[in-house]
Chains A and B, each alone.
Chain A
Amino acid sequence: MPRELTQNRIQKIWVPTKDDRRRAAGAPNFANPPTVIVMVGLPARGKTYMSKKLTRYLNWIGMPTKVFNVGEYRREAVKNYSSYDFFKPDNEYAVKIRQQCALAALRDVKSYLKDEGGQVAVFDATNTTRERRDMILKFGSENSFKVFFIESVCDDPNVIASNIMEVKVSCPDYRDCNKTEAMLDFHRRIECYKTSYQPLDPDQHDRDLSFIKVIDVGRRFLVNRIQDHIQSKIVYYLMNIHVQPRTIYLCRHGESTDNLEGRLGGDSGLSPRGKQFSAALARFVEEQQLKNLKVWTSQLCRSIQTAEHLGVPYEQWKALNEIDAGLCEEMTYDEVKEKFPEEFALRDEDKYYYRYPAGESYQDLVQRVEPVIMELERQENVLVICHQAVMRCLLAYFLDKSADEMPYLKCPLHTVLKLTPVAYGCKVESISLNVEAVNTHRDRPEEVKRGPGTLIRRNSVTPLTSPESNIKKPRIDDLDEAPIQELPPSVASLALCSPSHLPLALAGQHWLGKVCLT
């Protein structure tokens, strides 16, 4: 006897009736055993950069992922970093501390993957010796975790110097040093690792392991024994990202006639003010003086009309079309409230998962828009002229916003968001082109009745913000000895290093993100 099916009210996904309270997966479930991604490489080879970017991507496509950076554990344990001497291989005391830190991080990995609903853990450390990697493999095998290595190999001194300048020199380790001192010390630090570095050996020793070697910042890749779907996607992603400086501009089409009437969706043309905006956009683009700007639009009239004013070639992507409001297309919010009061309420209850009847949800949008993200990673300077919900999706990817926040990100008409990758994150500048427009933003309603506790199935395409590091409290109790005070207080630093906040710490950057967008 086949089971009775019900369409769950929010997602409009058909599920067996007794299951209808659970939040259904929005996409096929591919990852089975949890995976530990193990970074490998000398310092300043981009391991943390790749860890964070990959984590952001995996979380955005709904695969709960978290970075475990062993350097952070070390900074917790050893409050004051003195000099590269700490990293000398014969510094027995330090070697012990570093080993403990790695173990503490692995303990947290296990807890994340087994008890906290994590699917992928990124173990970010040098992991340059076979001994260390064997320990991790054993850990993986004991816990039935898959292990996938990402090794970054680079010997170009320019690249390394540039990396050190961008992220190391301003790291808490070097808070009280000047740039030259920091650079020098860091180079010596690297030398400490070089003698014991055993790169992955695909021909003999490591031929049965699953890994990708990224050589010279992506010029070349060696890929060995991909086991499953998620490893295949990780490899594809790593092969598409690059580190060339570039800028991504996101904006919506100019104000449309439907906007003026407060109507959702549809395929109307620009209002007079919308045309003004398009002209202003053309001027703005010219002022930016970019070489080789690609312009992308959706296949809806208002987006294309906006691009037409630029007088440059543009590509149309159906994937950039606005969220399909299904039966509610072209209605005003009041009409929706009147004709579909229940739907109206459900949407406010859970805006990310809510699918319009015969339409789409933000969850569907994320899947639809993923190839656009992949191509954006490949490209350099791009202007994307899209729509409110789509822009929120894209922005959530670049700014690491969760499913909860995504539908409420502020993306007003006639405003361009200029995104520039910087250090481990993304600088955002919000530029209003000074042409009046209606406001189409609906804030999260105050009294929203939250639905009954819904379980999130793994891989339910629910973007998560990359989790904060575990390092919140001192973990002295995990180590044999008390933290080492290596230096007199004048050089000591008591600050926690939390790389996720590094972009804010860099001097002279605009950061309008948090204030203006949420």
Chain B
Amino acid sequence: ACSSVPQFCNSPTVIVMVGLPARGKTYISKKLTRYLNWIGVPTKMFNVGQYRREAVKIYKNFEFFKPDNEEAMRIRKACAAAALKDVSAYFTKEQGQVAVFDATNTTRERRAVIISLAKEKGYKVFFVESICDDPEIIAENIKQVKSGSPDYVDRDIDEAMEDFVQRIECYKASYMPIDDEKDRKLSYIKIFDVGSRYLVNRVQDHIQSRIVYYLMNIHVTPRSIYLSRHGESELNLLGRIGGDSGLSPRGLKYANALADFIRSQKITDLKVWTSHMKRTIQTAETLGVQYEQWKALNEIDAGVCEELTYEEIQENFPEEFALRDQDKYRYRYPKGESYEDLVHRLEPVIMELERQENVLVVCHQAVMRCLLAYFLDKPADELPYLRCPLHTVLKLTPIAYGCKVESYFLNIEAVNTHRERPTNVNINRDTEEALQTVPDHV
């Protein structure tokens, strides 16, 4: 299958995390992996801690991590090697392009092993080191993610905290940060104090440049992102896709309900974004606050199918209709767009969402599915079928390594615009089979 976006990766890249425990390495690894996959770069995370938990079923205490614990050292080394082997397999057998090697990698020795392996196999290496000495941040990290770790499942928070602090001490003595002189030929980014400062050395290529840009834009300040579609539109009522119609009476009601809801949330400094289409702007207008219009948030362009009903699409373009059902993510409407195009178009929106704090995005069904897939790490084959009904606000709040989702239906009836994948996607199917899952409309 052709890619609709330029391919920039030639050699596979191994991103190597570096840093003491509780410095946000796994947080960064997961987030980065999610972002790269969303923009279409096959990426996978390899967390050495998980390999260790597989090898040593029960974690007793921090003594496992003592530098003089020879038996444990052997196991840990073996785990790292196993993970690296899987990295190679991911590249050669699974068409992976980026592997994120998530471990402390705090010694020059360990990093040298990785560099040498990469050199042998022709992989590029990019280090991401997280440096932080603020005891408050570290304590907060431990509380947020470590106390819920399988290692501490039978311990209370204070015990877990105490043990973990000792664990960190085990690493400190042998920690050798990336050295600006000795390591000047390496490609890396050092992140200081959760993003207050960065040191970037020898960015080799496009993907490393994108990674650096992403890492410099993310932050950990608590905030919430609200996603909603426009209120029900005139065309929605008629079961027609696309177009630029205004709100139906129920849609206007929703706009008012949305305003009430937002007020009740008592959000500080809320930014409101809409598309350039009338229905999202009308929806935002009732909020009575300033909003910004993004053309990038416009609904997917249905090309020749704009403003048709599904029945009309089946009548006029039955083959196209079937092809779409076969691969809804990659399918591009004639003279229109695909979901894949949408993701590409939305990337600057995601980047800015990462920079911002509290934001309400008033958008459209396909667009909202793309944004949601980013936040909830949904793969391409699920993305076009995510449920984003009208008159429902999704509140996303980052926690730990993921995102909490709260769904608020604002109690204003609306048509259903969600079309499931029908059973028969063959181009020879009959009309009834094609229209099997079309939702009701006027």
* Interchain CA distance A358-B7 in the complex, whole Å: 30
Beta-carbon contact of B5 and A226 below 8 Å? no
Residues of B with C-beta under 8 A to A315: 6-7
* Interchain CA distance A229-B203 in the complex, whole Å: 22
A-contacting 9-mer, from B14-22, B279-287, B372-380: B279-287
Beta-carbon contact of B294 and A27 below 8 Å? yes
Residues of B with C-beta under 8 A to A223: 197-200, 216
Beta-carbon contact of B6 and A14 below 8 Å? no
A-contacting 9-mer, from B74-82, B116-124, B206-214, B388-396: B206-214
CB distance from B259 to the nearest CB of A (A): 9
* Interchain CA distance A222-B198 in the complex, whole Å: 6
A16-B5 in contact given A220-B200, A224-B196, A239-B212 (Cβ < 8 Å) = no
- Is B217's CB within 8 Å of the partner chain A? yes
Beta-carbon contact of A5 and B295 below 8 Å? no
Residues of B with C-beta under 8 A to A296: 6
Beta-carbon contact of B200 and A7 below 8 Å? no
Considering only residues 325-360 of chain B, those with a C-beta below 8 Å from chain A are: 335, 341, 344, 352, 355
A367-B286 in contact given A202-B197, A220-B201, A299-B4 (Cβ < 8 Å) = no
Against A, the Cβ 8 Å flags (1 = close, 0 = not) of B278-313 are 100110011000001111100000000010000000
- Is A18's CB within 8 Å of the partner chain B? no
* Interchain CA distance A375-B213 in the complex, whole Å: 13
A16-B4 in contact given A2-B255, A232-B217 (Cβ < 8 Å) = no
Shortest Cβ distance from A329 into B: residue: B335
* Interchain CA distance A378-B209 in the complex, whole Å: 9
Residues of A with C-beta under 8 A to B46: none
* Interchain CA distance A84-B176 in the complex, whole Å: 46
Against B, the Cβ 8 Å flags (1 = close, 0 = not) of A21-36 are 0001111111000000
CB distance from A492 to the nearest CB of B (A): 46
* Interface Cβ pair total, 8 Å cutoff: 99
A2-B200 in contact given A25-B293, A29-B292, A378-B206 (Cβ < 8 Å) = no
Beta-carbon contact of A239 and B199 below 8 Å? no
Residues of B with C-beta under 8 A to A317: 5-6
* Interchain CA distance A24-B292 in the complex, whole Å: 11
CB distance from B46 to the nearest CB of A (A): 27
CB distance from B303 to the nearest CB of A (A): 10
Beta-carbon contact of B203 and A225 below 8 Å? no
From the candidates A5, A30, A202, A364, name the one contacting B285 in the complex (CB within 8 A): A5
Considering only residues 219-264 of chain A, those with a C-beta below 8 Å from chain B are: 219-226, 229, 232, 235-236, 239-240
Considering only residues 1-58 of chain A, those with a C-beta below 8 Å from chain B are: 2-3, 5, 7, 12-14, 16, 24-30
- Is A318's CB within 8 Å of the partner chain B? yes
Beta-carbon contact of A226 and B285 below 8 Å? no
Shortest Cβ distance from A13 into B: residue: B276
Residues of A with C-beta under 8 A to B278: 5, 7, 14
Beta-carbon contact of B6 and A3 below 8 Å? no
List 13 extra interface pairs beyond A28-B352, A219-B202, A329-B335, CB under 8 A. A5-B278, A7-B278, A25-B293, A28-B292, A29-B292, A222-B197, A222-B199, A223-B199, A224-B198, A236-B213, A315-B6, A317-B5, A318-B5
CB distance from A297 to the nearest CB of B (A): 10
Against A, the Cβ 8 Å flags (1 = close, 0 = not) of B90-131 are 000000000000000000000000000000000000000000
Residues of B with C-beta under 8 A to A5: 278, 281-282, 285
- Is B273's CB within 8 Å of the partner chain A? yes
* Interchain CA distance A225-B203 in the complex, whole Å: 20
From the candidates A25, A221, A229, name the one contacting B200 in the complex (CB within 8 A): A221
Beta-carbon contact of B341 and A318 below 8 Å? yes
* Interchain CA distance A389-B252 in the complex, whole Å: 39
- Is A316's CB within 8 Å of the partner chain B? yes
* Interface size, chain B (Cβ < 8 Å): 42
* Interchain CA distance A16-B288 in the complex, whole Å: 12
Residues of A with C-beta under 8 A to B5: 317-318
Beta-carbon contact of B209 and A239 below 8 Å? yes
* Interchain CA distance A317-B209 in the complex, whole Å: 19
From the candidates B6, B201, B335, name the one contacting A316 in the complex (CB within 8 A): B6
A2-B282 in contact given A219-B202, A239-B203, A315-B7 (Cβ < 8 Å) = yes
From the candidates B273, B285, B306, B355, name the one contacting A16 in the complex (CB within 8 A): B285
Beta-carbon contact of B201 and A219 below 8 Å? yes
Beta-carbon contact of A232 and B282 below 8 Å? no
Residues of A with C-beta under 8 A to B341: 318
A229-B285 in contact given A27-B294, A29-B292, A224-B197 (Cβ < 8 Å) = no
Residues of A with C-beta under 8 A to B216: 223, 226, 232, 235-236
Considering only residues 194-227 of chain A, those with a C-beta below 8 Å from chain B are: 202, 219-226
Considering only residues 386-420 of chain B, those with a C-beta below 8 Å from chain A are: none
A229-B355 in contact given A28-B294, A239-B209 (Cβ < 8 Å) = yes
Shortest Cβ distance from A236 into B: residue: B213
* Interchain CA distance A367-B281 in the complex, whole Å: 20
Closest A-B pairs by Cβ, 3 of them: A28-B292, A315-B6, A2-B285
From the candidates A13, A220, A236, name the one contacting B199 in the complex (CB within 8 A): A220
Shortest Cβ distance from B205 into A: residue: A378
Beta-carbon contact of B202 and A364 below 8 Å? no
* Interchain CA distance A332-B350 in the complex, whole Å: 39
CB distance from A25 to the nearest CB of B (A): 7
CB distance from B220 to the nearest CB of A (A): 15
- Please list 21 pairs of residues, one from A and one from B, whose beta carbons are closer than 8 Å in the complex, sorted by A's number: A3-B285, A7-B278, A14-B293, A25-B293, A27-B295, A28-B292, A29-B292, A219-B202, A220-B202, A222-B198, A223-B198, A223-B200, A232-B217, A236-B213, A236-B216, A239-B203, A239-B209, A296-B6, A316-B6, A358-B306, A367-B296
* Interchain CA distance A171-B88 in the complex, whole Å: 55
Against A, the Cβ 8 Å flags (1 = close, 0 = not) of B176-218 are 0000000010000000000011111111001001001100110
A14-B294 in contact given A3-B285, A315-B7 (Cβ < 8 Å) = no
From the candidates A7, A226, A267, A364, name the one contacting B295 in the complex (CB within 8 A): A364
Residues of A with C-beta under 8 A to B206: 375, 378
Residues of B with C-beta under 8 A to A220: 184, 199-202
Residues of B with C-beta under 8 A to A364: 295
Residues of A with C-beta under 8 A to B201: 219-220
Residues of B with C-beta under 8 A to A221: 198-200
Considering only residues 53-73 of chain A, those with a C-beta below 8 Å from chain B are: none
Shortest Cβ distance from A299 into B: residue: B4
